[in-house]
């Protein structure tokens, strides 16, 4: 029986053994075999799978998205055109670009607050020159809460 011990796989992929077991429970990795001595033995490709998982997470994919991507890879024969990395990367790119746009608005508003010397949000909120749209934010927060 061949394979790598869990500690070897985890070390090679830069994760701890608990992460390895968690991914196995989630179905991201195949259950390991056992050696005659009772040691868990993972296939060598588990290192690559772990590296792919960690890289995908670093790009903002959730574990569910990674699981879908890995599952699509295993079922290539009936593969849907929307199951591949390219399509998922495009969708994630749209999300990231929207977040960047939101963060740019936030950065601009905070910069304006710093430039205006706003120190007291209660005093600033009542002033027409206040760069932070307190009234708009409060109304939006109430509307969002009502939608839930």
pLDDT in single tens digits along all 148 residues of the chain:
578 898 999 999 999 999 999 999 999 998 888 888 888 888 989 999 999 999 999 998 999 999 988 887 765 555 555 667 888 889 899 999 999 999 998 899 888 888 888 788 777 777 777 777 765 665 555 456 566 5
**Secondary-structure percent of the chain, ordered helix, strand, coil, rounded to 5:** 65, 5, 30
d(C-alpha 118, C-alpha 132), whole Å: 9
Residue among 76, 3, 101, 75 at smallest CA distance from 43: 3
Residue 51 CB neighbours (<10 A):
14
Residue among 58, 59, 62, 2 at smallest CA distance from 28: 62
Mean pLDDT of the chain, nearest integer: 82
pLDDT score at 62:
92
DSSP assignment of 115-126: HHT---HHHHHT
Quote the strand ranges of 9-140, DSSP E: 33-34, 40-42
């Amino acid at each position: 029986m061949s394979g790598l011990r869990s500690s070897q796989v985890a070390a090679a992929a830069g994760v701890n053994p608990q992460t390895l077991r968690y991914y196995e429970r989630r179905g991201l990795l195949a259950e390991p075999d056992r050696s005659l001595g009772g040691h868990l033995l993972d296939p060598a490709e588990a290192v690559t799978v772990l590296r792919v998982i960690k890289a995908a997470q670093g790009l903002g994919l959730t574990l569910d998205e990674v699981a879908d991507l890995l599952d699509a890879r295993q079922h290539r024969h009936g593969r849907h055109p929307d199951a591949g990395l390219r399509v998922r990367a495009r969708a994630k790119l749209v999300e990231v670009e929207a977040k960047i746009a939101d963060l740019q608005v936030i950065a601009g508003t905070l910069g304006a607050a710093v430039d205006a010397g706003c120190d007291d949000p209660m005093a600033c909120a009542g002033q027409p020159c206040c760069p932070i749209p307190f009234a708009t934010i409060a109304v939006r927060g109430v509307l969002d809460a009502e939608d839930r």
